Amino acid sequence: MYLSSLQIRNFRNIKETQLQFNPRVNIILGKNGQGKTNLLEAIYFLGIARSFRTSCDTVLITQGMDGFFLSGIVVQQHNIQDKIDVFLEDTKKVRINNKFLPRIIDLIGHFQVIIFFPEDLHLVKGTPDIRRRFLDILLSQSDPQYLHYLQQYHKIHKHRNKMLWQLKTGQEGAAISDIDVWDIQLQETSNRIIKARKESIKVLDGLSTGIHHQITTGSEIVKISYKPSVFNKEKRFDEIRKGHTLSGPHLDDMCFQINGIDAKKFSSQGQQRTAAISLRLAEMEYLYQQIKELPVLLLDDVCSELDDVRKGYLMKAVNQGGQIFITTTELDTVRELMDGEYKVFTVKDGLIIG
Ligand SMILES: Nc1ncnc2c1ncn2[C@@H]1O[C@H](COP(=O)(O)OP(=O)(O)OP(=O)(O)O)[C@@H](O)[C@H]1O
Ligand SMILES: [Mg+2]
């Protein structure tokens, strides 16, 4: 799968552009603050309908404008082409081959992208919600059924919380027995989510261990384990006291160990960064196994903070054959790591030439 062209209007500092991409390597070159990451963000938005660096869509609109527009042609296996339009006017809208999707979330799975960026470090050392988001995006991109359960779970969880809050605050119309109905549904969807997360983490663990072993030339063993929060209805009275649900997959986490110790607490920043890269490469492999296509890789600033061994391994992995977009401030650093053809785009003050 690859993105063959992209039209961008009023996205961050990119006012109007029409780009044709190389099916393999696209190098995005420019000085700091010119719009390189903005371009990757636009490509990511075309796949996920959200940004990887903000949860607020309106900050993506060029200052002083009313909305943004993205339109890309994605080429799938057997040369099947899809036109994907994602835009924000008063609300966010998505069109595939000129047909509006009833729900934005249904976009996920049409154009698989993976981002590698400096903040990936937080996959290891950050808060659990960052790891849950990682898992949810990956599983949603590979299995529409997962996305369905996840949405169901969020809906039930929200209703149940509302009811607990009503009971806590003594509002009329709320009865403890009403929660039983929600509990049955919560239990069911929660089991499905936990099962999917458990299976995928097992695969990701195996893949990451192998990749990490190679990147660190055998000096480190990384292990990823799942820390599920199994829904427990015995907590009901505490929940009424607090006014919200105290167990369930919305509180899940996963844990990284490097050479047997908890990486979040004890590993160095460099070790955490490498573990995060191993996880991203494992993500790429996982998606490939699931959808039988290489996802598009977006590599933001990845070479600036890695040593040569790790850099070399990363590049070897990304040179496997899929499409990649890589940002850099120096062409030579990236060019020498690429084998085969590539196209260079220069970015200056939001203007992209390629
Ligand atoms: N909504 C917006 N409207 C207009 N300009 C914006 C908007 N959001 C961000 N920018 C501008 O985009 C520029 C930053 O772009 P970006 O983050 O892509 O830089 P970069 O080329 O990746 O730089 P670096 O090499 O430092 O990572 C800044 O000049 C910022 O002011
Ligand atoms: Mg940047």
Q: Give how many domains the chain has, as a whole number.
A: 2
User: Which residue, judged by its Cα, is nearest atom 9 of ligand 1?
Assistant: 12
Q: Ligand 2 centroid vs 36 CA: distance in angstroms?
A: 6
- Residue 327 alpha carbon, nearest atom of ligand 1: 22
CATH number, residue 303 = 3.40.50.300
In tens, the pLDDT along 274-288 reads 999 999 999 999 999
Do 306 and 285 belong to one domain?
A: no
Q: What does each of the 354 residues of the chain score in pLDDT, given as a tens digit?
A: 999 999 999 999 999 999 999 999 999 999 999 999 999 999 999 999 999 999 999 999 999 999 999 999 999 988 999 999 999 999 999 999 999 999 998 999 999 999 999 899 999 999 999 999 999 999 999 998 999 999 999 999 999 999 999 999 988 777 888 888 889 999 999 999 999 999 999 999 999 999 999 988 899 999 999 999 999 989 998 999 999 999 999 999 999 999 999 999 999 998 999 999 999 999 999 999 999 999 999 999 887 777 787 888 888 777 778 999 999 999 988 888 887 889 999 999 999 999
Does one domain contain both 182 and 90? no
- 78: domain range? 1-112+293-354
Contact 338, 155 (CB under 8 A): no
The pLDDT of residue 335: 84
pLDDT value at residue 73: 98
Examine the domain organization and report whether 181 and 322 are in the same domain: no
Which pLDDT score is estimated for 7? 98
Minimal-distance CA residue to ligand 1 atom 28: 33
Nearest CA to ligand 1 atom 24: 32
Among 9, 10, 37, 65, residue to substitute to test ligand 1 (most atoms within 8 Å of Cβ): 37
Residues 161 and 266 in one domain: yes
> Which of 15, 34, 58, 326 has most ligand 1 atoms within 8 Å of its beta carbon, as the pocket-test mutant?
34
Here the CATH number for the domain that contains residue 244 is 1.20.1050.90
Residue 98, pLDDT score: 98
